[in-house]
Amino acid sequence: MNSITKDRARRILLDLVAIPSVNPMGAVCTGIAPVERGAVEYIEGLFADTPADAHRHPVSAAHENLLVRYPADAEAPAIVFESHMDVVPADDWLDRAFTPRLDGDVLYGRGACDDKGSLTAMILAMLDLLESGERPPRPVLLLCAGDEEYAQTGIKSFRGLPFAIERGIFGEPTGLTPVVQHKGTMRWDITVHGKSAHTSRPELGVNAIHGAMDVIAALREHQRVLQARHPNPLMTGPMLTVSMIRGGRTRNAVPDECVLSLDFRVVPGMDMEAARAEVFDVLDGLGWEVSHGDLQLMTPPLDTPIEHPFSRRVLSICRAHAGDGIQLRGEPYGTDGSWLADRAAVLVLGPGDIRSAHAVDECIDLNEIVTCARIYREIMTAVE
């Protein structure tokens, strides 16, 4: 693993963070190229003089993937290493977000932790494999994905490619601990309808904001019921979170409409469509006129068995590099990994702390990236 050094990690991550691959988060993209293009061109350059094949795969006008492939000597299903290139906006710290800076071995900047730290570690591992000349037991695919942060169209596009896949490692900040389970996510808008009237005669109207208050209370109670019904030893239970509220038209009129944005996190074992329909039924019983928007996002949960040979092998490798106390665990967030879980044994694993992701002064320790790169490198050639 002579190619996996802190100096190389520092150089690559500094360069990647300085490329502002900001996801427009559903807004109309006015650029002439996908938002990931700068990162794609940079990574292509890193692999230009290696035996690997690197190809761009368009996803949409706003997004694209880069796939780096290294074949094995024998035909076999591939192992996928995936990290995403896009980052969330940094409007609250634009003065420094894309000017990466170092404090000792800690690197600060938007995307340093989520997800360019994992991406750097995967690049280092892949480069070391290629430069060693070692042939892996199965083809290795490095998928540098677009649009993970909003609609996950990058991984959905990859699903349509004709690759046989047996294993998958998805890079996210897990603190070098393999994640075998995470929640699924559904997001949609709930509109409470009322009737407008002058605020001097509110009894002539129907206040939609009052209805929204009842909806929020009902969602909180339904969350309590679901958590009692679906306990999970590896993570917290189902969560129903109202993340945005928009209601009212003017200060002197009873609001005739209030829109709630709902984020619904489900645990493995729940039927997502049935869970959403149950929310409809709960709110229908309140006596308010309520309508539901289309799903903005629907991501399935991840549920890889703890006793799967791949889970046990990766756990053993992580313990060898990062400590015997590491255990397989679950997480409440979602990842691209769940989109391949029906075709492969998938784990989520990467450097960094999820509490730093999306935060002002997002950061990551370069030493953890190096350790993670060594873990990835060993997984690439491991035989279970």
pTM, two decimals, is 0.93
For the chain, give every domain's residue range.
6-182+301-381, 184-298
Task: Report the candidate in 380, 361, 358 with the shortest Cα–Cα distance to residue 115.
Answer: 358
Tokens representing 384 are: 């279970």
Single-letter residue type at 8:
R
Q: Examine the pLDDT at 347 and tell me if it is beyond 80.
A: yes
**Rounded to a whole number, what is the largest CA-CA distance in the chain?**
80
CATH of span 6-182+301-381: 3.40.630.10
| Per-residue pLDDT tens digits for 283-312 | 999 999 999 999 999 999 999 999 999 999
The number of angstroms, rounded, from the C-alpha of 345 to the middle of its chain's C-alpha atoms is 17
Percent of the chain with pLDDT over 70: 99
Q: What is the pLDDT of residues 213-246, one digit of tens each?
A: 999 999 999 999 999 999 999 999 999 999 999 9
The Cα 319–Cα 306 span in angstroms is 15
DSSP type of residue 300: -
CA distance 376 to 305: 20
pLDDT of the residue at 1: 67
d(CA 161, CA 10): 33
pLDDT of residue 74: 80
CATH number of 184-298: 3.30.70.360
- Could you please report the per-residue DSSP string of 30-80? -SSS-TTHHHHHHHHHHTTTSS-EEEEEE-SSS-EEEEEEE--SS---EEE
Cα–Cα distance between 283 and 38 in angstroms, integer? Answer: 46
At residue 72, what are phi and psi to the nearest 5 degrees? -95, 170
Give the tokens for residue 363: 């950061």
Among the listed residues 225, 255, 257, the one whose alpha carbon sits nearest the alpha carbon of residue 240: 225
Q: Cα 89 from chain centroid?
A: 15
Nearest Cα neighbor of 294 from 215, 174, 187 is: 187
Q: Assign residue 152 a region: left if phi > 0, alpha if psi is -120 to 50, beta otherwise?
A: left
pLDDT for 240-288, tens place per residue?
999 999 999 999 999 999 999 999 999 999 999 999 999 999 999 999 9
Place of tokens 């750097």: 120
| Per-residue confidence (pLDDT) for residue 234, from 0 to 100 | 94
Which pair of tokens denotes residue 227?
A: 């958590």
Residue 376 · residue 121 · CB < 8 Å: yes
Q: Give the mean pLDDT of the chain.
A: 96
Looking at residue 27, what is its pLDDT? Answer: 84
Please choose, from the candidates 179, 120, 135, the residue with its C-alpha nearest in 3D space to the C-alpha of residue 376: 120
Digit-coded pLDDT (tens) for 77-121? 999 999 999 999 999 999 999 999 999 999 999 999 999 999 999
